[in-house]
Every structure is written in structure tokens, then in C-alpha cells.
Structure 1
């Protein structure tokens, strides 16, 4: 066996070990969510759908889910409106301080989330918006814009700008060129960024703990409160649904990325 084959097998073994370390605890959560008991235990005393039924019957879970969807959808939309023009300006623009601007926009990605939560609370408390849904939406938008910016900049890196000049030579204005030429070609990056931004906002709990009240409680904060107050198997049921939801969204991202690769290969052929 050659050295290259040994290195390849070692990499596969390492990847399998890391995946097992991550996935095995998640797999244990699945049978625990179907337990017939009243506490989280493994192995389970029996199987039942009572805890999934409790998610439907308890209005707190439904309210927190709706709040999370509203906040995540609004922050994703705002991140698209802010991130796409910023990405075009940073990818195609040539101005002094370009790297500094990019670093400032991407700062929320590297800042500790607790610091972001404290800063958000201080700012919105001074503005009298603590406890409002808009405070959480704007904070999550600040976290989502760098994601959108990064994915769109990556899509624009392989963009053929002669298509823009061709559209202009045919009489298309700036707005029409954007919607008919640029946006369709960078759509995989935009959709991928939007999905990741939605997941980040939907799963975020630290900033939500600083800014939300009981009425505006999001689903992750509801889970956190449940773990702290009384560990119920309903939390495992919610976790399983969130894992399945995130897996579907990540599968869509993978499909979009593979589709983008196929489109680029066809365009270069």
C-alpha cells in the first residue's frame, strides 16, 4: 500500500471519527423524544408520541415557534437587502479602505456572541426598544449580513462582468441588468446565504435572552428555559424536529452548490 493510500485512509478514518463524535449524541436524542416516561432517560421505558402531542397542545411552544419564524424571516430579508448591494460594491468596487470596510461588516462573525448580546441590550435599552421584536430582528440582521456578504462575494468571484457590459450595450438599465443578468447568475449564492442566515437567526439564543420578554420568547430561548427549569422529554422532541429542519435546509444548500458547479461547467464548455 502506497503512502498516498495510507494518508487517504487516515483522513477517512479521522473524518468518520469526528462525524461519529458529533452524530451519536444526536441519534440518542431521537429515541429519547419517543419515550413514554416523564424524564429524559436512555434506554427508554417505552415508546410514545405523547411529547410530540404536547408540542401541539401547549400554546407556548407554538407561540415561540411563530416568533422564531417571524424574526428569522425578517432578519433574512433585511440581510439580503443589505448584504447583496454591499457584496457587489466590495467585490467590484475599487476604493480606499476596502479591506477595512469588509472587516467592519464581518466583525459580528468573530465577536463573542455574549459581547454582541450585551452591546445590543445596551443600545436598544437606551433607545427604549428592549423587549420589542424589532430589536431582536435588527440584532439578528447584524449577525446575518456578514454571512450573506461572504456567500454573495464568493458567487461574484467567478462572475463574467462582460455580461453586464453586454446588457448595457443592448440598452438595459442598471435595475434591469441586476434582475435579469446578475441576480439569476448569483442566485445559488444568494439562496445559500439566505438559508444559512435563517438558520443562524432561528437557532440563536444568547442575544434573544438579552432582548426578548416572555411574550416575544423565541423557540431556542423556550428550550433553554425548559432545560433550566424542568427537563422534559418535550425538549428532546423539539430538538429532533429542529435537527430534521436544519438537515433539510443544509441539503438544499448542498444541492444549490452542486447545481452552481454544473452551471459554471456548462458555461465554460
Structure 2
């Protein structure tokens, strides 16, 4: 076996071990969610779907899911409305302080989430908005905009700006050029950023712990509270559904990235 072939197989083996280390603990949650016991146990003493039915019968779980969906979708829309124009301005514009503005927008990516949560609680408590979905949406949007910004800037890096000038020379206005020329070509990056923004909001628990109360609890907040108060197998059932949902979204991102690469290769051919 040649040295190059050995290194190739060694990297495959390393990747397989690393993925197993990450994925196997997640897979253990599946049989735990199907237990017939009243407590989390592995191996399970028996099999039952009762805890999935419990998620439907206990109104707290559907309410928490609804809150998470409303907050996640709202965050995605707001981060798109803010992130796309900001990305175009930063990618194509030339002005003083450009790097500073980008650093300020990207700050939520490097600031510890617990600090963001404490600061958000102090700010919104003075406004009387703690326990309101709006406060969570605004903070999640601040956390998601840098991701949307990065994804769109990556798409704009390979964008041919002569298409914009061509559209302008044919009489298209700025808005028409954006929706007919720019947006369709950067759509893979926009959709990827939107999906990641939704995942960030949907899975976030620290800020939600500070700002959500009672009926406004999100799904991750419900899981966290359930782990502290009572270890119920219903938590494992929710975890399985969240893992499946996240896997579907990540698969969609992979498909979009593959499609984007094919389009770029076709355009450069």
C-alpha cells in the first residue's frame, strides 16, 4: 500500500471514529424514548410509544413547540430582511469603517451567550418585555444576522456584477434588478443562511431561559426545565424529534450547497 493510499484510509478511519463519537450518544436517546418505564433507563425494560403520545396529550409541549416555531420563523424573516441588504452593502460597497461595521454585526458570534442573556434580561426588564415573544425574537435576530450575513457574502463573492449593470442598461430599476437578477442567483446562500438562522433560534435555550416565562416557554426551555424538575422519558421523545428535524434541515443545506457548486461550475464552463 502506497503512502498516499494509507493516509487516505487513515483519514477515513479518523473521520468514522469522530462521527461515531458524536452520533452514537444521540442514537442511544432513541431506545430511551421508546421505554415502557416511567423513568429514563438504558437498556429499556420494555417498549412503548406512550411517551410520544404524552407529548400530544400534555398541552405544554404543543404550546412550547408553537412558541418555538413562531419565534424561529420571525427570527428568520427579520434576519433575512436585515442581513441581505447588509451583506450586499458590505460586499459591494467601499466606505470608511467597513471592517468595523462588519465586526460590530458579527459580535454576537463571539460574545458568550450567557452574557447576551443577562444583558438582554436587564434591558427588556426595564421595558417590561420579559416573558414576551418580541424580546426573544429581537435577541435571536441579533444572534442570527451574522450567520445570514456570512452566508450571503459567500454567495456574492462569485457573483458577476456585470449582470447588474446589464439589467440597469436595459432600464431595470434597483428593486427590479434585485428581485429578478441578484436574488435568484444568490438564493442558495440566502436559503442556507435562513435555515441556519432558524436552527439557531429554534434550538437556543440560554436567552430563552432569561426571557421566557410561563406560557411563553420555548421547546428547548421546556426540555431544560424538565431535566431539572423531573427526568421523564417524554424529554427523550422530544429530543428524538428535534434530532430528526435538525437532520432534515442540515440535509437540505447540503443539497443546496451541492446545487450551488453545480451552478457555479456550469457558469464557469
| TM-score normalised by length of structure 2 | 0.99
Structure 1, residues 208-227: CA drift from partner, whole Å, max 9, x if none? 00001111000000000000
Counterpart position of 1:102 = 102
Matches of 2:126 and 2:162, distance apart in 1: 49
Give the length in aligned residue pairs: 269
Structure 1, residues 105-150: CA drift from partner, whole Å, max 9, x if none? 0010111000110111111112221111100000000000000000
Counterpart position of 2:58 = 58
Q: CA deviation at 1:264?
A: 1.1
List gaps (5 residues or longer) in structure 2: none
Matches of 1:2 and 1:135, distance apart in 2: 59
Counterpart position of 1:259 = 259
SS of 2:24 mapped into structure 1: helix
1:9-158 equivalences under 5 Å are 9-158=9-158
201-210 or 6-15, larger mean C-alpha shift: 6-15
Structure 1, residues 31-65: CA drift from partner, whole Å, max 9, x if none? 11011111111111111100000000000000000
C-alpha RMSD of matched pairs (Å): 0.7
* Residue 175 of structure 2 corresponds to residue 175 of structure 1: yes
SS of 1:106 mapped into structure 2: helix
Q: CA deviation at 1:94?
A: 0.6
List gaps (5 residues or longer) in structure 1: none
SS of 1:136 mapped into structure 2: helix
Counterpart position of 1:192 = 192
Matches of 1:255 and 1:9, distance apart in 2: 26
Matches of 1:212 and 1:42, distance apart in 2: 32
Q: CA deviation at 1:165?
A: 0.2
SS of 2:257 mapped into structure 1: helix
